[in-house]
Structure 1
Amino acid sequence: MAERNLIPSLESIPDVCPERPNEPNWMQNIALRDAYHRVLVQDIYRAQNMERIVETGSCDCATRFPTWDTAEGAFRENHADADRAEMLQASDTYNRLANDLRSQAKAICEAAGNW
């Protein structure tokens, strides 16, 4: 009986905050040649979430995994007309921001049991 619990599942249900919002449909169905658009929105989302956790000192699920609206809005307002190179550079900037905040956010989230 115990062995059954060790069988890996093909489902990808996260251990933390399993009720995460789905990415917008356009991101899930984007053409491969435009995948960098999706990556940029994901990078914006991650950076915004790390900022929000550190600013509020909270890591509840709604703070750590909000809807994608704010990230999608930032993409549309600031990057939608950018070329590929500009989007890749913006992704790098957002990744650096998220990585700079990661240790602080991780400590807050670990304390809340959401890391």
Structure 2
Amino acid sequence: MSNSIQPAETDRYGCAIRLRPEHLTFRSFRDAWRSVAADDLYSLKRHQMALKAGSCDCETLWPDWAIIEDEYAELGFAAPTGTDSLHITWSAEEYFPVISDLRDRLRTQCQEAE
């Protein structure tokens, strides 16, 4: 289900890119970091899951955003008292050190599957 009237964007494999759900979209300046945190966590999880599954089908490449709900809350990203420093620290330790390699490995996996 899309929350936009625009046609869905597709990735390099022709899969529809799932839009971030409304409850994970924050528009105020103070909370904008929460949207970025959701995007980063989703990207990390979806790459890890697709590599683990060894699959390049669209449902595997773009799973439901529910896959991050629990961890998003556990990391404090959903907490009213949370600040962007939570995301900065997490991304420096957990996201940026691995995401490039995950993207490269998934690209290789999916190109070989074509």
TM-score by length of 2: 0.74
Give the corresponding residue for 1:62.
59
Distance in 1 separating the partners of 2:50 and 2:9? 22
Partner of 2:15: 17
Give deviations 1:65-110, integer Å, cap 9, x for gaps.
0110112321112223343212112133223322222211111122
Q: Highest relative contact order (Cα 8 Å, sep 6+), 1 or 2?
A: 1
- The 3-state SS of whatever aligns with 1:47 is helix
Query: For residues 71 and 62 of structure 1, do their structure 2 counterparts lie closer, same or farther at Cα, with a shift above 3 Å needed?
Result: same
Map of 1:36 onto structure 2: 33
Distance in 2 (alpha carbons) for counterparts of 1:45 and 1:21: 10
Partner-residue secondary structure (3-state), 1:74: helix
Alignment root-mean-square deviation, CA? 2.2
For the Cα contact (< 8 Å) 1:36–1:88, is it kept in 2? no
Shift of 1:32: 2.5
1:71 aligns with 2:72: no
Aligned counterparts of 2:96 and 2:110: Cα–Cα separation in 1: 19
Distance 1:34 1:54, change over 3 A: same
Runs of 4 or more above 3 Å deviation: none
- Residues 29 and 39 of structure 1: is their aligned pair in 2 closer, same or farther, counting only changes over 3 Å? closer
Matched positions, count: 103
Larger-Rg structure: 1
Aligned-residue sequence identity (percent) comes to 25
Preserved CA contact (<8 Å) 1:39 1:91? no
Question: For structure 1, which runs of at least 5 residues remain unmatched after alignment?
Answer: 1-9
In the alignment, which residue of structure 1 is the partner of 2:84? Answer: 84
Higher mean Cα deviation, 70-79 or 34-43? 70-79
